[in-house]
């Protein structure tokens, strides 16, 4: 069964995705360059903002779901492995702060390092801003504009997947085409390279019934994506990838 697109990444998964030292991950989070979030259990929260160091309450309501952790609190979590957090930031409205309400009485909220996650949309924005490229299944940080061009034989994906190079062949992709290729590439990295065509169409926001309709402007798209003939697709990378029905048989043995 194909995996759905991720809503968020753990910090450990980001480290693998970017092939970066753990210290780089913690640095971008605790300095506020990359927003970290936690899942807030059901609590009464005060919605408000600060005015001259005083917290002004706009309303009090029950809240649960994803909220952002302030950079100063992530530093304490990194240093101690866990920490009590009382004030959070809304992911829907940056200026809105959420503070644990004093009434009714509630238990303090303590979060562990393993509970910190990064939303998928924040991950993508960070990759685009800092020009993180995907090369041969690994994420490499490019800190300079004049980073050396990879060899023509490499498989290279631009940060937004609008440019793909496989064995020296360039593919310039449109918006929906890029979404399809990103989904297939992430699936391949996750070890489940075959995705159902209808799933890919839905993820791309397409109303078409066939994947080839999305790629009608790409005459050579079958050189980029291959089919198993049963409705499943994967990237046509230079690797020995078994069709999904064969993978299932292998796993069942």
- The mean pLDDT values, 10 residues at a time, for the chain of 253 residues are 76 87 92 94 89 86 91 93 92 80 86 93 88 53 42 64 80 90 86 88 90 88 89 78 41 32
* 0.75 exceeded by pTM: no
What is the pLDDT at residue 51? 85
What is the pLDDT at residue 154? 58
The single-letter DSSP state of residue 151 is: P
What is the pLDDT at residue 44? 92
User: Rounded to the nearest 5 degrees, what angle is found at the Cα of 204, between the Cα atoms of 200 and 206?
Assistant: 95
Give the contacts of 2 (CB within 8 A, at least 6 positions apart). 187, 192, 194, 195, 196, 199
What is the pLDDT at residue 147? 41
Helix axis angle, 22-30 to 71-80, nearest 10°: 140
Q: Dig out the tokens for 226 from the structure.
A: 């291959």
What is the pLDDT at residue 144? 39
For the chain, what are the domain ranges? 8-126, 134-252
């Amino acid at each position: 069964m194909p995996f759905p697109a991720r809503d968020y990444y753990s910090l450990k998964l980001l480290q693998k995705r970017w092939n970066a030292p753990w210290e780089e991950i913690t640095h971008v989070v605790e300095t506020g360059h990359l927003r970290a979030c936690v899942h807030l259990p059901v609590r009464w929260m005060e919605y408000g903002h600060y005015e001259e160091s005083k917290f002004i309450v706009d309303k009090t309501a029950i809240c649960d779901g994803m909220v952002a952790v302030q950079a100063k609190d992530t530093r304490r979590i990194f240093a101690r492995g866990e920490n009590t957090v009382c004030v959070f930031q809304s992911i829907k409205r940056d200026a809105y702060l959420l503070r644990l309400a004093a009434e009714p009485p509630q238990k303090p909220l303590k979060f562990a390092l393993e509970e910190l996650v990064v939303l998928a949309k924040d991950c993508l924005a960070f990759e685009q801003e800092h020009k993180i490229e995907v090369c041969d299944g690994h994420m490499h940080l490019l800190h300079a504009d004049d980073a050396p061009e990879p060899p023509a034989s490499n498989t290279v994906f631009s940060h937004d997947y609008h440019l793909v190079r496989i064995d020296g062949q360039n593919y310039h992709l449109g918006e929906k085409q890029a979404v399809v290729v990103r989904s297939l590439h992430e699936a391949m990295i996750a070890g489940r390279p075959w995705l159902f065509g209808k799933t890919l169409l839905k993820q791309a926001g397409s109303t078409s019934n066939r994947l080839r309709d999305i790629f009608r402007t790409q005459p050579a798209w079958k050189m980029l994506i291959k089919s198993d003939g049963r409705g499943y697709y994967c990237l046509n990378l230079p690797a020995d990838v078994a069709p999904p029905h064969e993978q299932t048989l292998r796993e069942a043995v």
